[in-house]
């Protein structure tokens, strides 16, 4: 009988996070302050606590996890690692498929790994409130959860389409004590401006970020928390990969290939960074490959341009070099698979540019097909986001069936899909068409960005 669920004891919750920055093949290009047209953090120091800023630029590989944070992690960590034997069987593959499951956290995803840490550092710095944005509500509910443990108030700007169509995550946030506004809202200058131009604007993550950042900037006792993209967020997620490595060690296994989905890149980085560290420090037993999967509806890396752009629509945030679809990107309402951010973590971009990482894109129908097969074999209902990784894994396992290769595949099931029933219902009723973001739109957005900042191309980074 193959053991299908590998658990660790509480003491095995990692005591440090791993920071990839000292191990990147090239240093990250600096952040650019558009007002000065030169390197500078812009508003960033005004919205994050000092400890987080230090982590953002850390030259240290290992950063201690505060005991107070580990104490909250104990509620759900260490998370289980499963072997997907039933999926392997139905695919008739010689590959072994393992997945690390983060859906056991109370908010149902990997997001609280960083939310709890961010709330802790803000509390330590004497802040009283945190603001943030959320799409369908995964990140907002994680921050509401984190703030609750450290007695901070929490304000969440939720993309209007989700606010109206998906009330359950809003209710969850409110239950954990957060106040939630549909974005664009009348609470902020950025929101009011957009509503004046287009009262029916459906909202986007870029707009919601502008609102949350403005709220933090204009209130002294308030800071902003971000759920992905930034280095410190990805760093906090590395508890995932460190645990997975230990769990595989118990089985005397090491992955040949690791899959994860990417929206901003935090969950996948949390899984693969510790294996990347093995690689660069000469400890890897195999030449492990990393594959990031994104939707064809929001193809930030596969179709986006690697250039400086803002993280938000109102251009409050400084310019960061990353793959981007342009900061005015609004996802097609028909897209149900999550992962809707126009940019990506700069570390994902640089690793992809340096060919350390492969990126693939799938459309929502093939992704939901994969999710259904997973639910019907493994039982767990995956969130649409990690279902992109599942599709990648299924393709890889089928390739192994052809070649006879006995690969060990690892992927991150970063959340459950219990709040995504509307998307599943639409899928089951055949209402979700395959959708690909048009190349033309990307070109238009990039042209606009280059016209906005013609000096960008002259920068030496
Ligand atoms: C369950 C889940 N997975 C993945 C993501 C994508 O973000 P990231 O790439 O930072 O993990 C999200 C984003 O909200 C999410 O809710």
Q: What is the pLDDT of residues 138-170, one digit of tens each?
A: 999 999 999 999 999 999 999 999 999 889 999
Q: How far is the CA of 341 from the centre of ligand 1 (A)?
A: 10
Q: 434-457 pLDDT, tens per residue?
A: 999 999 999 999 999 999 999 998
Whole-number Cα distances in Å, 228 to 110, 235, 247, 357, 416: 11, 10, 25, 18, 18
Q: Where are the alpha helices (DSSP H) in 180-238?
A: 189-197, 205-217, 231-236
Substitution candidate for ligand 1 out of 106, 110, 382 with most atoms within 8 A of CB: 110
Distance CA 332, CA 339 (A): 12
* Residue nearest ligand 1's atom 6 by CA: 263
Instruction: Give me 368's structure tokens.
Output: 């939901």
Q: Where are the CATH 3.40.50.1100 domain residues in the chain?
A: 35-59+111-231, 67-108+232-458
Distance 451 CA to ligand 1 centre (A): 31
In the chain, the percentage of residues whose pLDDT exceeds 90 is 94
Q: Three-state SS for 54? A: helix
Specify the DSSP class assigned to residue 257: E
Task: Indicate the average pLDDT of the chain.
Answer: 96
pLDDT digits (tens, 9 = 90+) for 303-315: 999 999 999 888 9
Looking at residue 331, its pLDDT comes to 86
| The domain over range 35-59+111-231 is classified in CATH as 2.40.110.10 | no
pLDDT digits (tens, 9 = 90+) for 356-415: 999 999 999 999 999 999 999 999 999 999 999 999 999 999 999 999 999 999 999 999
- How distant, in Å, are the alpha carbons of 34, 165, 216 from that of 211? 19, 20, 9
CA dist 168 and 423 (Å) reads: 14
Using left for φ > 0, alpha for ψ between -120 and 50, and beta otherwise, residue 252 falls in left
**Cα of 263 to ligand 1 centre, how many Å?**
6
- Identify each DSSP E strand in 145-221 by its residue range: 153-159, 179-183
Is pLDDT of 322 > 80? yes
The two beta strands, 257-261 and 222-224, are unpaired
Query: How many angstroms separate the CA atoms of 312 and 317, rounded?
Result: 6
Q: What distance in Å separates the CA atoms of residue 364 and residue 391, rounded to the nearest whole number? A: 10
d(CA 378, CA 372) in angstroms, rounded, equals 10
Closest approach atom of ligand 1 to CA 265: 9
The answer, yes or no, to whether residue 1 has pLDDT greater than 70, is no
Distance in Å, CA 355 to ligand 1 centroid: 23
Residue 397: partners with Cβ closer than 8 Å, 6 or more residues away = 87, 88, 91, 93, 95, 97, 409
- Report the relative pairing of strands 289-295 and 257-261 from DSSP bridges: parallel
Which pLDDT belongs to residue 297? 96
SS3 label, residue 26: coil
Nearest ligand 1 atom to the CA of 139 is 14
Q: Report the candidate in 183, 117, 186 with the shortest Cα–Cα distance to residue 152.
A: 117
Span from the CA of 297 to the centroid of ligand 1 (angstroms): 15
- Ligand 1 centroid to 196 CA: how many Å? 31
Q: Is the pLDDT of residue 334 over 90?
A: no
Residues with CB under 6 A from ligand 1: 109, 135, 138-139, 228, 261-267, 338-339, 383, 385-386, 414-415
Helix, strand, coil share (%) of the chain residues, nearest 5:
45, 20, 40
pTM: 0.97
Ligand 1 center–CA 262 separation, angstroms: 7
CA of 108 to the centre of ligand 1 (A): 11
Helix (H, G, I), strand (E, B) or coil at 77: coil
Interatomic CA distance for residues 205 and 134, integer angstroms: 7
pLDDT cut 70: percent of the chain above it: 100
Nearest CA to ligand 1 atom 1: 415
pLDDT reported for residue 194: 96
**Nearest protein CA to atom 10 of ligand 1, as residue:** 266
- At 330 the pLDDT is 87
- By alpha-carbon position, which residue is closest to atom 16 of ligand 1? 138
Q: Residue 335: how many CA atoms within 13 Å on its side-chain side? A: 23
Closest ligand 1 atom, residue 267 Cα: 11
What is the average per-residue pLDDT within 80-103?
Answer: 98
pLDDT tens, residue by residue, 182-203 = 999 999 999 999 999 999 999 9
- CA 431 – ligand 1 centroid, Å: 23
Contact 179, 222 (CB under 8 A): no
Rounded to the nearest angstrom, the distance between the alpha carbon of 432 and the centre of ligand 1 is: 21
| Mutation to probe ligand 1, out of 112, 113, 415 (largest number of atoms < 8 A from CB) | 415
67-108+232-458 in CATH: which number?
A: 3.40.50.1100
The string of DSSP letters for 310-368 reads ESSTT--S-EEEEEES-TT----TT--S----SS--HHHHHHHHTTSSEEEEE-HHHHH
Residue nearest to atom 7 of ligand 1 (CA): 263
**Which residue from 134, 137, 338 has its CB within 8 A of the most atoms of ligand 1, so it is best to mutate?**
338
């Amino acid at each position: 009988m193959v053991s299908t669920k590998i658990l660790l004891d509480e003491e095995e919750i990692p005591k440090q996070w791993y920071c990839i920055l000292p191990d990147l093949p090239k240093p990250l290009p600096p952040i650019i302050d558009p007002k000065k047209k030169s390197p500078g953090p812009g508003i960033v120091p005004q919205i994050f606590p000092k400890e987080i800023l230090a982590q953002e630029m850390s030259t240290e590989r290992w950063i201690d996890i505060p005991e107070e944070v580990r104490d909250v992690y104990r509620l759900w960590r260490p998370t289980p690692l499963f072997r997907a034997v039933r999926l392997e069987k139905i695919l008739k593959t010689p590959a072994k498929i393992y997945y690390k499951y983060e859906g056991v956290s109370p908010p149902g995803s990997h997001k609280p790994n960083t939310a709890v840490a961010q709330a802790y550092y803000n509390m330590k710095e004497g802040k009283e409130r945190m603001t943030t944005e959320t799409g369908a509500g995964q990140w907002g509910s994680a921050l509401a959860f984190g703030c609750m443990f450290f007695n901070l108030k929490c304000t969440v700007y939720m993309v209007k389409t989700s606010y109206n169509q998906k009330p359950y995550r809003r209710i969850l946030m409110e239950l954990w004590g957060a106040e939630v506004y549909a974005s664009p809202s009348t609470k902020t200058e950025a929101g009011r401006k957009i509503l004046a131009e287009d009262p029916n604007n459906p909202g986007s993550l870029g707009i919601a970020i502008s609102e949350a950042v403005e709220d933090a900037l204009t209130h002294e006792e308030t800071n902003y928390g971000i759920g992905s993209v930034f280095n410190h967020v990805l760093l906090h997620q590395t508890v995932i990969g460190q645990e997975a490595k230990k769990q595989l060690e118990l089985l005397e296994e090491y992955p040949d290939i690791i899959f994860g989905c990417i929206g901003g890149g935090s969950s996948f980085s949390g899984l693969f960074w510790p294996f990347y560290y093995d690689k660069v420090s000469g400890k890897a037993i195999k030449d492990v490959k990393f594959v990031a999967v994104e939707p064809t509806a929001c193809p930030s890396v596969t179709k986006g341009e690697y250039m400086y752009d803002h993280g938000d629509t109102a251009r409050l945030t400084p310019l960061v070099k990353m793959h981007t679809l342009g900061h005015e990107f609004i996802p097609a309402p028909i897209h149900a698979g999550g992962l809707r951010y126009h940019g990506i973590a700069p570390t994902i971009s640089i690793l992809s540019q340096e060919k350390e990482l492969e990126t693939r894109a799938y459309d929502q129908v093939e992704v939901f097909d994969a999710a259904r097969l997973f639910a019907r074999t493994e039982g767990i209902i995956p969130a649409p986001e990690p279902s992109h990784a599942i599709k990648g894994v299924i393709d890889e396992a089928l390739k192994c069936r052809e070649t006879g290769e006995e690969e060990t595949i690892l992927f991150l099931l970063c959340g459950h899909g219990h709040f995504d029933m509307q998307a599943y219902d639409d899928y089951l009723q055949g209402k979700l068409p395959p959708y690909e973001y048009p190349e033309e739109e990307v070109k238009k957005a990039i042209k606009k960005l280059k016209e906005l900042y013609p000096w960008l191309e002259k920068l030496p980074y």
